[in-house]
Structure 1
């Protein structure tokens, strides 16, 4: 029973934090409607499935090298700072009301989710979660 409770707590702690993809989904959903937020999630999920397959076939051992991890963390930090700056810069833009058509295309929202998911932070997250499952 204690082992089961431990796994439940670990699962909740992994699922609970809001990451860059969730923030982008919420932002696109509020500004352009549900389908655009959903498209961002689909773009992120595409990268997640690709990363899981790549880790299964051996990418994890390459990414564990320190000379690869340090640039990944630096690039990830810069990427997250740019996302934060963009969110602050565009915070005053109006949201799309229910009777208005969004000006942004669905594919553009999908692409945003795809690009956010390529961040090194997401790669390291899947490396730690899926890497422990593989071992």
Structure 2
């Protein structure tokens, strides 16, 4: 039985240790070429949650806009965190894409009208949808 501590090299100073090249990694070690794209999605989700108060509630004065953005942002952040921690969860990319699709149609379904909430949801939805599509393509290639 091994543990995290038993697998570590404590005899070599940290500034001398290097990660093995890609061809010397363990055969089952997952590669995650889409990490930068997933990081952008995570930051967009955090922005969506943070901006829900000034744009959704204070700007539009509506709880449905606030809750839509807050719940969607938290869900995207959780799904993206799972994908960052476990790169083999490719199917969660479709969940992210579906949530981005909701951001694009939410102004029509909830009838925001032309407000900062509409612009914010459309911009974040396009960004998340684009990054999710590119990240899914990277995961399938690698």
Q: Which has the higher relative contact order, 1 or 2, with Cα contacts under 8 A spaced 6 or more apart?
A: 1
Structure number with bigger Rg = 2
- Length-normalised TM-score, structure 1: 0.30
Which structure has more helix as a fraction of its residues?
1
- Length-normalised TM-score, structure 2: 0.29
